[in-house]
Amino acid sequence: MQEILDASQPSDWRTPENKNLLYLDLDSGRVLIELAPAFAPAHVANIRALAKNGYWNGMSINRAQDNFVVQWGDPAQEEKDRKPLGRGAKAKLPAEFARKTKGLPFDRLPDVDGWAPEVGFSGGFPAGRDPAADAAWMAHCYGAVGAGRDMAADSSNGTELYVVIGQSPRQLDRNITVVGRVLQGMELLSVLPRGTGPLGFYEQPSQRTPIKSIRLASEVPKKERVGIEVLRTDTPLFAELVEARRNRRDEWYKHMAGHIDLCNVPLPTRAPPPKPVAEKAKPKPRAKKPRSGAKPAGASKS
Amino acid sequence: MQEILDASQPSDWRTPENKNLLYLDLDSGRVLIELAPAFAPAHVANIRALAKNGYWNGMSINRAQDNFVVQWGDPAQEEKDRKPLGRGAKAKLPAEFARKTKGLPFDRLPDVDGWAPEVGFSGGFPAGRDPAADAAWMAHCYGAVGAGRDMAADSSNGTELYVVIGQSPRQLDRNITVVGRVLQGMELLSVLPRGTGPLGFYEQPSQRTPIKSIRLASEVPKKERVGIEVLRTDTPLFAELVEARRNRRDEWYKHMAGHIDLCNVPLPTRAPPPKPVAEKAKPKPRAKKPRSGAKPAGASKS
């Protein structure tokens, strides 16, 4: 995989739009989330408004259920105790479990998937598609960010957000609105102590993890922004990378799977390469060494 | 799921044999691992000998790679600095990536799986099977315990053990020897801080998690043993549970998947029901309320 990434061109990478980037700041560091307005426009609009209002600042991560999700939001149990959503944020949104396929890019994987007739990537997000039903949806892979809801399909408003921290709970696909995915900082969420209450909620308020702030990158002063690029999923290079993971060519592997599950495909990110600053600086033509995603090697020490 | 478990009979549960149960004791608590001699007899024999010799006592968890594995063993880099394996433990073992299908129970799932022609459970372990190749193997689901190896297929000896803490890395199936799975205590391993060195190894020895001891339950004084029962996978009740997860009947779900992935099937454990002690004690006929596995509910607060 590293060899393929080393051979990548600047055009193989994309820079997420600042209006689609959330910075979740914890004491332990920053988590970067990319929102997906193509799939959940109403939820994304609400989340942007909530972030602008500083809605989550000073709130907490209230739930960590092993092999499932972490979740944050207003911990108040009673409606009357809840923080007002603020200007421009709606209290009620439509369910956005799936959308029509028209106009949606879809880079299909060649592999079978028991949860969906077709799986692949759309704008960098793992997704499922059912042409017969004219439906496409984001898949609950590791790092997926969704909007918690109650019994009614339209009972989420984007204030309660969860992140998948375990085996992909694909049974949630088409049952809840996915709003985006974590690009960076998963290791800050996945290590949170698991809650011992029902559904992994913490039993004591002191066990919750404080949220310093959740802000839209577009609202953050430029000098505080994090540069990040994400590998495009609609390029020959990405197809090459997927194939290299479907059939591992390195000597460590003795059996080729000839397959990959949607949620096992790595979606690499990197810091943007340094911009040429002056003619005399002789900028290197090659991109800066990318951050590696999940390392493919086995459990060997070497 | 809880309703189904509540209706279970004592015969729906099994008690793992003490010679197949490992207690991994950390400062944070105890992890229970069930070994699978039916799949990896040579590795299990070696692990038993190593545990009897106290081989891992005082060692550490040296690796935690996000969405992949934690791993323990001798952190010494040089062969000459390594701890001797002790009596009855072999330095070299055969690769036990797969076994013949004859004589192996197999409770097949009805679902497609891209990694294997057939998937299901064997003696309580998630497994794949290929009748054409006369091969069966344990699958790398969350909680799977495997034996790290180097480049050669037969380079594992059971001293370096890893546990899957993320999305199932099924590409490792048939490429490395799986020796068992974690029955209880996953949340003690999954929260370990991720290592920042290559492959998630810790860069500083002080970052490692000390191992107090790894012992076979059969070697532990009876009063220190943990009672545990595991739901059998070869019963009508288990088939009913799987079907209830393939098509969720609770009102929260708006879309039925009609499918489940091998690694999404919960494998519940519970403390054994109290034994009747005297006639006058009127023991309750119903089993003690079981510990629930991963809770199926969505990300709702309620």
Q: Which of B1, B67, B262 to mutate to test the interface with A (most CBs of A within 10 A)?
A: B67
* Residue-wise DSSP of chain B: -HHHHHT--GGGEE---GGGEEEEEETTEEEEEEE-TTT-HHHHHHHHHHHHTTTTTT-EEEEE-TTSEEEEE---SSGGGSPP--TT--S-----S-B-STT---EE-SS--TT-SEEEEETTEEEEEEGGGTEEEE---TTEEEE---SSTT---SSSEEEE-SS--GGGTTTSEEEEEEEE-HHHHTTSPPP-SGGGB-SSGGGSEEEEEEEEGGGS-GGGPPP-EEE-SSSHHHHHHHHHHHS--STT-SS--S---GGGS---EEPPPPPP--GGG---SSPPPPPP-S----S---
Task: Find the mean pLDDT for residues B289-299.
Answer: 38
At B138-196, the pLDDT tens digits run 999 999 999 999 999 999 999 999 999 999 999 999 999 999 999 999 999 999 999 99
Smallest CA-to-CA distance from B295 within A277, A76, A266, A69 is with A69
Cβ of B170 and A257 within 8 Å? yes
Taking CA atoms, what residue in A is nearest to B186?
A: A66
At B48-68, the pLDDT tens digits run 999 999 999 999 999 999 999
Per domain, the residue ranges of chain A are: 2-11+229-281, 12-224
Does residue B221 register a pLDDT over 80? yes
Question: What ipTM does this complex have?
Answer: 0.92
Set of chain B residues whose Cβ sits within 8 Å of the Cβ of A147: 299
> How many angstroms separate the CA of residue B50 from the nearest CA in chain A?
19
- Chain B interface includes A128 (CB < 8 A): no
Set of chain A residues whose Cβ sits within 8 Å of the Cβ of B170: 257, 261, 264
- Percentage of residues of chain B with pLDDT beyond 70: 91
Q: Which residues contact B168 (CB under 8 A, 6 or more apart)?
A: A167, A261, A264, B139, B140, B141, B142, B144, B261, B262, B263
Cβ of A298 and B176 within 8 Å? yes
Helix (H, G, I), strand (E, B) or coil at A227: coil
Provide φ and ψ at B51, rounded to 5°.
-65, -45
Set of chain B residues whose Cβ sits within 8 Å of the Cβ of A187: 66, 194
Q: What is residue B79's predicted lDDT score, i.e. its pLDDT?
A: 87
Cβ of A191 and B192 within 8 Å? yes
Cβ of B298 and A175 within 8 Å? yes
* Mean model confidence pLDDT for chain B: 92
Are the C-beta atoms of residues B142 and B50 closer than 8 Å to each other?
Answer: no
- Chain A interface includes B142 (CB < 8 A): yes
Set of chain B residues whose Cβ sits within 8 Å of the Cβ of A173: 255, 257
> How many C-beta atoms lie closer than 10 Å to residue B277's C-beta?
8
> How many angstroms separate the CA of residue A105 from the nearest CA in chain B?
24
> Judged by CB atoms within 8 Å, which residues 205-234 of A form the interface with B?
none
- Between A and B, how many residue pairs show a Cβ–Cβ distance under 8 A? 199
Set of chain B residues whose Cβ sits within 8 Å of the Cβ of A256: none
The shortest CB-CB distance from A257 to any of B115, B165, B300 is to: B115
Cβ of A171 and B245 within 8 Å? yes
Cβ of A187 and B298 within 8 Å? no
> Judged by CB atoms within 8 Å, which residues 20-39 of A form the interface with B?
none
Rounded to the nearest 10 degrees, how much is the dihedral formed by the CA atoms of A7, B64, B166, B295?
Answer: -160
Cβ of A168 and B167 within 8 Å? yes
Smallest CA-to-CA distance from A123 within A104, A95, A108, A136 is with A104
Cβ of B167 and A97 within 8 Å? no
Are the C-beta atoms of residues B301 and B165 closer than 8 Å to each other?
Answer: no
Taking CA atoms, what residue in B is nearest to A187?
A: B66
Inter-CA distances, A154 with A50, A73, A147, A232, B212, Å: 18, 18, 11, 32, 50
Q: Which of B187, B242, B243, B260 to mutate to test the interface with A (most CBs of A within 10 A)?
A: B187
Q: What stretches of A206-257 adopt beta strand conformation (E)?
A: 209-216, 229-231
What is chain A's pLDDT, residue by residue, as a tens digit (302 residues)? Answer: 899 999 999 999 999 999 999 999 999 999 999 999 999 999 999 999 999 999 999 999 999 999 999 999 999 989 899 999 999 999 999 999 999 999 999 999 999 999 999 999 999 999 999 999 999 999 999 999 999 999 999 999 999 999 999 999 999 999 999 999 999 999 999 999 999 999 999 999 999 999 999 999 999 999 999 999 999 999 999 999 999 999 998 899 999 999 999 999 999 999 988 876 655 544 444 444 433 333 334 444 33
Cβ of A299 and B162 within 8 Å? yes
Does residue B299 register a pLDDT over 70? no
CA A118 to chain centre: 20
3-state secondary structure A134-151: CEEEECCCCCEEEECCCC
Q: What is residue B278's predicted lDDT score, i.e. its pLDDT?
A: 57
Cβ of A194 and B194 within 8 Å? no
Q: Which of A161, A186, A190 to mutate to test the interface with B (most CBs of B within 10 A)?
A: A190
Q: Which of B149, B162, B255, B265 to mutate to test the interface with A (most CBs of A within 10 A)?
A: B255
Q: What CATH architecture applies to the domain A12-224?
A: Beta Barrel (2.40)
Smallest CA-to-CA distance from B99 within B140, B141, B127 is with B127
Q: What is residue A255's predicted lDDT score, i.e. its pLDDT?
A: 95
Q: B19-221 maps to which CATH number?
A: 2.40.100.10
Q: What is residue A264's predicted lDDT score, i.e. its pLDDT?
A: 98
Does residue B136 register a pLDDT over 50? yes
> How many angstroms separate the CA of residue A114 from the nearest CA in chain B?
6
> How many angstroms separate the CA of residue B191 from the nearest CA in chain A?
4
- Chain B interface includes A282 (CB < 8 A): no
Burial, A233: exposed, middle or buried (Cβ in 10 Å; 0-12, 13-18, 19+)?
Answer: buried
The shortest CB-CB distance from A301 to any of B160, B173, B264 is to: B160
CA A32 to chain centre: 8
DSSP label of A241: H
Burial, B255: exposed, middle or buried (Cβ in 10 Å; 0-12, 13-18, 19+)?
Answer: middle
Helix (H, G, I), strand (E, B) or coil at A39: coil
At B229-246, the pLDDT tens digits run 999 999 999 999 999 999
